[in-house]
């Protein structure tokens, strides 16, 4: 078996493995879509959540989740699902349009759904895969530098190496800057209280707006310490907000 | 036995018929001095006595104390009656006529009372309360003979209090009726709380007073037969999940005298603590917090409205449950119209099954475009305890026709649904689950790789410098240096100058273009450059014995060729 034959076999094996992994997930996804069409939104959302927690996260999954949540009247949850879809696929224009539309419907200011400017850099880097671009340019600059040292078109090689290195550093700077953005969460419950301590018996110091995105300052058990758009800091129960920086967690027990 | 039961029923019916409301207004004097005080006593007796009696209108009189309230429950010969008394202390303002107006309560009215006020004080001073005999003159005269045991009859009386919940397990927000029962075998003259009951963890509503049976009802408690009377009823709504306890309440019960030698007296009876198990409510987005059974409706005050004017949308929730807890309407988003925050109205009454009635919210809707504006169904979700799940009651969709102005084709997007959904009427679901398995290096890995690349670049530079591969030591010269060197060499061949100047320029041009040649370098390039430099130095340092111009031109030409070849 030649090199091409071995490559084809490997590709087939990978495809088969991917198909086996995606099969049950696809079935559950279609089942959830049928439930949405039949009007059973809570059950459909339950299946979407189950898929997301199992690692089958995608912009498509969250798009459908958002549609079901909207139909159910849960606009905060819908906005969260769309924002999560945008995190996964920043280039999805339909998602971006619906995020904007829902933001206006919820009467939220732009700053209230984008409290972290560095997160924009992070999304920009993900959209254009600047991390991979930076790695390719780094490899190119090293290769060109090596060729120059080996006197293979030395002048052109060294010039290419220099330019590629500068571009690689510039490209890598964007995702690296984005990595300094604080994690955020979207408020999914209308009138979610902002408490002065991580306890259900704590005093409420304010109320969060449904759909508002808040930076997460720290976590403690089922509680998240957040900062609202007005700068007020307090604790909110994790059932009232959904994280945007990671997949949903299983619902709290009890 | 049957005759006895029949007689008892007849007796009860007769006593119930007699249980009617009587209202009296009395004063302790009809003629007083302007410096005297007058006591007004208003008494209501009967089973339907109201809780509040408005004060009567007063002419030439001021209230200087009161009202003092007292209530009594009397059970005599198996019949129960209530009396409620209000007392005022009045003082005249001036000499002349005074009047206490009619007292009105329970649909009845008393006659006005005329008072004559004269100058000075005509009423005797109230004597100082003192007991010259050291004992109650109306007490038991045989107490010294028979001892204090005669007073303990009330303590051995069979009288009990019980707090009885209508159920012991329910959900947060479900109603529970707590009834305080009096069980007695004796005539009770008075009954009141010694310690007010506490209901921590509950929202408390007072139930309307129940029509009391004057003779109570037979009941058995701990093996003893009693007559039982409901004293107080409260409607409780648990506000949190868990095991909640209503602590004991202590009642002070006055026992009626039964004879001349019976002192009567009062006893205290506590209820037992009541424990209630409260289950939590399921959580769901959009859940209003309402528990019970409700129906939501929506209506517009008009079907057609001119552009620029407002319509009112009324969202109404009707049913029974904890409707008082529902403090806000669902969000109303109308495409092509501005919606202002609603005003709410309530029409609620407390019943044994909860708070019944309706709450309504009125939204002012101001269309911003003409045409037909669709108002989506509004959903009101509540917990149906009977079904054990959250149920949603949806209103019907409404259409508001807006006349005048431009067409509504360009109306802004409906906030609830996406553009595709509004166009097709169906949700724009995506059918294929795309797995995003693309690998991305994390920030740490990316930082590490960038740093590694920089280190490798530095290593390559260092390696080249170490092996003499720099531009100055034989490596490729920048094209700018080569061009500059060639220009210098052309200048040497073209312009007249001394041999020292020419040699210096040639040497400089060679050095800039090809760099220094190491002694160990024995390559052809090194040998050629070294030979050329020897000739240049010879011309430079040789004595001026003749014309070196041709020699200089020859060196410049050879140097230019070397630069082009080796630089």
Name the residue facing B436 among A57, A141, A155 (closest C-beta). A57
Strand-strand pairing, B311-321 and B287-300: antiparallel
List the one residue out of A206, A215, A204 whose CA is nearest residue A241.
A215
- Which residue range forms the structural domain that includes residue B507? 471-566
End residue of a domain, out of B118, B142, B165: B118
User: If you average pLDDT over residues B488-497, what whole number do you get?
Assistant: 86
Closest CA to B203 of B238, B241, B162, B172: B238
Assess if residue B392 is contained within a domain: yes
CB contact under 8 A, A168 and B416: no
In angstroms, the CA B249 to CA B131 distance is 35
Question: At B17, is the pLDDT very low, low, confident or very high (cuts 50, 70, 90)?
Answer: very low
Decide which of B99, B118, B137 is a domain's last residue: B118
A135/B428 CB distance under 8 A: no
Higher local confidence (pLDDT), B425 or A190 = A190
Residue B155 is predicted with a pLDDT of 52
CATH number at residue B367: 2.60.40.10
| Residues paired with B7 in a beta bridge | none
Q: How many helices (H) and strands (E) does chain B have?
A: 8, 31
Could you tell me if B320 and B388 lie in one domain?
Answer: yes
Mark whether B49 and B106 lie in a shared domain: yes
- pLDDT (tens digit per residue) in B313-364: 999 999 998 887 777 778 888 877 878 777 778 888 888 888 888 888 888 8
State the Rg of chain A over Cα: 23
Rounded to 10 deg, the angle between the A154-178 and A117-127 helix axes is 130
Q: What per-residue confidence (pLDDT) applies to A254? A: 39
- What average pLDDT does range B413-428 have in this prediction? 48
Q: Are residues B298 and B399 in the same domain?
A: yes
Cβ A181 vs Cβ A116: under 8 Å: yes
Alpha-carbon distance B503 to B493, whole Å? 11
For A22, the closest of B435, B450, B479 (CB atoms) is B435
B462: left (phi over 0), alpha (psi -120 to 50) or beta: alpha
Searching chain B, which residue's CA lies closest to the CA of residue A143? B457
| Interface probe, candidates A19, A67, A73, chain B, greatest B C-beta count within 10 A | A73
> What pTM was estimated for this model as a whole?
0.41
* b/e B414-428 (16+ beta carbons within 10 angstroms → b): bbbbbeebeeeeebb
Q: Cβ–Cβ of B436/A63 closer than 8 Å?
A: no
**CATH of residue B63:** 2.60.40
Residue A218's pLDDT is 92
Q: What is the least distance, in Å, from the CA of B478 to any CA of chain A?
A: 8
Note the pLDDT of residue B297: 92
Helix, strand and coil content of chain B, in percent to the nearest 5, comes to 25, 40, 40
ipTM: 0.78
Check B469 against A149: CB less than 8 A apart. Answer: yes
Provide the CATH number for the domain around residue B482. Answer: 1.20.120
Q: How many structural domains does chain B have?
A: 4
**Where are chain A's structural domains?**
3-107, 123-178, 184-243
B211: left (phi over 0), alpha (psi -120 to 50) or beta: beta
What HEC string does A107-166 produce? CCCHHHHCCCHHHHHHHHHHHCCHHHHHHHHHHHHHHHHHHHHCCCCHHHHHHHHHHHHH
What is the SS3 assignment for B507-561? Answer: HHHHHHHHCCCCCCCCCHHHHHHHHHHHHHHHHHHCCCCCCCHHHHHHHHHHHHH
Q: If pLDDT is split at 50, 70 and 90, which confidence band does B20 have? A: low
Residues B183 and B233 both lie in one domain: yes
pLDDT score for B78: 52
Looking at the fold, whether B296 and B270 belong to one and the same domain comes out as no
Q: Look at A161 and B379 and tell me if their CB atoms are within 8 Å.
A: no
Per the model's pLDDT, the better-predicted residue between B281 and B128 turns out to be B281
Mean pLDDT of chain A: 85
Determine which helix (DSSP H) or strand (DSSP E) holds B456, and give its type and residue range.
helix B443-466
When scoring B453, B473, B477 by the number of chain A Cβ atoms within 10 A, the one with the most, hence best to mutate, is B453
Tell whether B43 is covered by a domain. yes
Q: What is the DSSP letter of B322?
A: B
Which residues on A lie below 8 Å from B432 (Cβ)? 26, 60
How many CA atoms lie less than 13 Å away from B59 in the CB half-sphere? 13
Same domain flag for B316 and B273: no
A172·B443 Cβ contact <8 A: no
Chain B hits for A190, Cβ within 8 Å: 286, 331
Residue B264 located in a structural domain: yes
Same structural domain, B241 and B296: no
3-state DSSP assignment of residue B237: strand
The token pair at A183 is 């994690």
Give the pLDDT of residue B136.
44
Rounded Cα gap, residues B176 and B354, in angstroms? 8
Distance CA B63, CA A188 (A): 59
Q: Averaged over B431-437, what is the pLDDT?
A: 70
| A227-233 average pLDDT score | 89
B contact test, residue of A105, A156, A161 with most B CBs within 10 A: A105
The CATH architecture assigned to A3-107 reads: Alpha Horseshoe (1.25)
CA dihedral sign of residues B52, B58, B61, B62: positive
Which residue is closest to A56 within chain B, CA to CA?
B435
For A184-243, give the CATH class. mainly beta
pLDDT confidence of residue B1? 41
Could A36 and B427 be called an inter-chain contact, meaning their C-beta atoms sit closer than 8 Å?
Answer: yes
Q: How near does any CA of chain A get to the CA of B465, in Å?
A: 10
Residues 6+ positions from B393 with CB-CB distance below 8 Å: B294, B295, B296, B317, B379, B380, B381, B382
**Within this chain, do residues B307 and B403 fall inside the same structural domain, yes or no?**
yes
- Give the dihedral of Cα atoms B437, B443, B445, B447; nearest 10 deg: 150
The reply to whether B129 falls in a domain is no
SS (H, E, C) A67-94: HHHHHHCCHHHHHHHHHHHHHHCCCCHH
Q: Please, what is the angle between helix B499-514 and helix B479-494, to 10°?
A: 160
Order of strands, sheet of A184-187, starting from the edge strand that comes earlier in the sequence: A204-207, A193-195, A233-237, A223-227, A213-220, A184-187, A241-243
Which among A9, A189, A135, A93 has a CA at the least distance from the CA of B418? A93
Q: Identify whether B13 is part of a domain.
A: no
* Distances from the Cα of B359 to the Cα of B208, B214, B343, angstroms: 21, 37, 11
What confidence tier does B124 reach under pLDDT thresholds 50, 70, 90?
A: low
Select from B74, B102, B118 the last residue of a domain: B118
Q: B261 with B314, same domain? A: no
Beta bridge partners of B350: B355
Task: Closest CB to A188: pick one of B285, B434, B469.
Answer: B285
* B163 lies in some domain: yes
Locate B169 and state its tokens: 């397990």
Whether A63 sits inside 8 A of B430 (CB atoms) is yes
Residues B205 and B294 in one domain: no
A116-125, A142-151, B4-13, B138-147: least confidently modelled range = B4-13
φ and ψ at residue B190, rounded to 5 degrees: -155, 150
User: What is the per-residue pLDDT across B258-305, written as a single tens digit (0 to 9) for each?
Assistant: 655 565 677 888 888 899 999 888 877 778 788 998 999 999 988 888
Instruction: State the maximum Cα–Cα separation within chain B, in Å, rounded to a whole number.
Output: 171
Take residue B238 and report the two structure tokens written for it. Answer: 């648990």
Q: Are residues B297 and B250 in the same domain?
A: no
Q: Is B182 helix (H, G, I), strand (E, B) or coil?
A: strand
CA gap B559, B518 in Å, rounded: 18
Question: A3-107 and A184-243: same fold?
Answer: no
B284 → closest Cβ in A42, A142, A168: A42
pLDDT digits (tens, 9 = 90+) for B211-258: 656 677 888 887 778 888 888 888 898 888 888 888 888 888 887 766
- List all residues 6 or more positions away from B4 whose beta carbon is below 8 Å from its beta carbon: none
Shared domain for B245 and B202, answered yes or no, is: yes
Quickly state the pLDDT bin for B51 (edges 50, 70, 90). low
Count of residues making up chain A: 254
Alpha carbon distance B554, B552 (integer Å) = 5
Which chain B residues are within 8 Å of A106, Cβ to Cβ?
Answer: 415
* Cα–Cα dist B264/B74, whole Å: 13
Tens digits of residue pLDDT in B175-209: 999 988 888 887 777 787 777 677 888 888 877 65
């Amino acid at each position: 078996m030649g090199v091409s034959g071995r490559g084809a076999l490997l590709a087939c094996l990978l495809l088969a493995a991917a198909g086996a992994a995606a099969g049950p997930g696809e079935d559950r996804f279609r089942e959830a879509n049928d439930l949405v069409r039949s009007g059973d939104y809570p059950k459909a959302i339950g299946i979407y959540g189950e898929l997301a927690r199992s690692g089958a996260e995608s912009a498509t999954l969250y798009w459908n989740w958002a549609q079901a949540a909207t139909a159910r009247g849960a606009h905060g949850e819908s906005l969260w699902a769309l924002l999560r879809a945008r995190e996964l696929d920043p280039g999805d224009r339909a998602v971006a349009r619906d995020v904007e539309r829902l933001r206006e419907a919820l009467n939220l200011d732009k700053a209230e759904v984008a409290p972290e400017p560095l997160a924009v850099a992070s999304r920009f880097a993900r959209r254009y895969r600047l991390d991979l671009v930076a790695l390719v340019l780094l490899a190119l600059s090293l290769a060109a530098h090596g060729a120059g040292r080996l006197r293979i078109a030395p002048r052109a090689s060294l010039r290419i190496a220099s330019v590629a290195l500068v571009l690689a550093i510039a490209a890598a700077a964007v995702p690296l800057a984005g990595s300094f953005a604080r994690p955020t969460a979207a408020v999914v419950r209308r009138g979610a209280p902002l408490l002065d301590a991580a306890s259900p018996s704590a005093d409420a110091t304010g109320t969060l707006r449904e759909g508002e995105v808040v930076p997460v300052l720290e976590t403690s058990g089922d509680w998240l310490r957040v900062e609202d758009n007005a700068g007020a800091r307090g604790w909110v129960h994790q059932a009232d907000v959904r994280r945007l920086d990671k997949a949903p967690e299983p619902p709290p027990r009890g | 036995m049957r005759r006895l039961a029949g007689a008892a029923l007849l007796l009860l019916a007769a006593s119930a018929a007699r249980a009617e409301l009587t209202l009296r207004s009395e004063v302790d004097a009809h003629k007083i001095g302007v410096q005297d005080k007058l006591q007004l006593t208003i008494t209501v007796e009967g089973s339907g006595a109201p809780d509040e009696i408005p004060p009567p209108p007063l002419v030439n009189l001021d209230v200087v104390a009161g009202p003092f309230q007292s209530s009594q429950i009397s059970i005599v010969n198996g019949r129960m009656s209530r009396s409620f008394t209000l007392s005022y202390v009045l003082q005249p303002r001036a000499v002349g006529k005074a009047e206490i107006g009619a007292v009105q309560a329970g649909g009845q009215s008393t006659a006005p009372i005329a008072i004559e006020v004269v100058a000075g004080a005509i009423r005797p001073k109230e004597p100082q309360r003192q007991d010259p005999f050291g004992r109650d003159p109306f007490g038991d005269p045989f107490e010294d003979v028979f001892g204090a045991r005669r007073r303990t009859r009330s303590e051995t009386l069979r009288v009990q209090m019980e707090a009885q919940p209508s159920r012991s397990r329910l959900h947060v927000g479900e109603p529970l009726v707590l009834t305080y029962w009096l069980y007695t075998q004796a005539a009770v003259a008075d009954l009141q709380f010694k310690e007010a009951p506490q209901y921590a963890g509950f929202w408390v509503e007072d139930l309307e007073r129940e029509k009391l049976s004057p003779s109570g009802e037979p009941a058995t408690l701990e093996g003893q037969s009693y007559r039982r009377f409901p004293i107080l009823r409260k409607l409780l709504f648990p506000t949190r999940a868990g095991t909640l306890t209503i602590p004991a309440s202590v009642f002070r019960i006055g026992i009626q005298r039964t004879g001349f030698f019976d002192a009567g007296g009062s006893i205290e009876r506590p209820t037992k603590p009541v424990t209630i198990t409260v289950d939590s409510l399921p959580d769901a987005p959009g859940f209003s917090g309402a528990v019970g059974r409700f129906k939501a409706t929506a209506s517009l005050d008009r079907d057609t409205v001119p552009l620029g004017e407002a319509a009112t949308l009324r969202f109404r929730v009707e049913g029974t449950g904890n409707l008082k807890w529902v403090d806000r309407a669902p969000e109303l988003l109308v495409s092509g119209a501005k919606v202002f925050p609603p005003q709410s109205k309530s029409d609620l009454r407390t019943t044994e099954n909860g708070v019944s009635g309706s709450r309504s919210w009125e939204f002012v809707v101001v269309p911003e475009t003409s045409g037909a504006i669709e108002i989506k169904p509004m959903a009101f979700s509540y917990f149906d305890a009977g079904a054990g799940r959250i149920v949603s009651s949806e209103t019907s969709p409404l259409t508001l026709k807006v006349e005048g102005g431009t067409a509504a084709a360009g109306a802004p997007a409906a906030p609830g649904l996406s553009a595709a959904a509004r166009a097709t009427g169906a949700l724009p679901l995506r059918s294929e689950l795309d797995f995003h398995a693309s690998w991305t290096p994390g920030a740490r890995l990316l930082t590490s790789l960038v740093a590694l690349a920089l280190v490798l670049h530095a290593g390559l530079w260092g390696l080249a410098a170490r092996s003499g591969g720099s531009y100055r030591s034989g490596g490729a010269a920048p094209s700018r240096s080569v061009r500059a060197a060639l220009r210098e060499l052309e200048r040497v061949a073209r312009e007249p100058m001394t041999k020292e100047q020419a040699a210096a320029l040639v040497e400089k041009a060679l050095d800039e273009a090809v760099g220094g040649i190491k002694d160990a370098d024995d390559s052809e390039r090194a040998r050629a450059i070294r030979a050329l430099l020897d000739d240049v130095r010879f011309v430079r340092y040789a004595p001026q014995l003749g014309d070196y111009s041709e020699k200089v031109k020859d060196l410049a030409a050879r140097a230019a060729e070397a630069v082009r070849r080796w630089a």
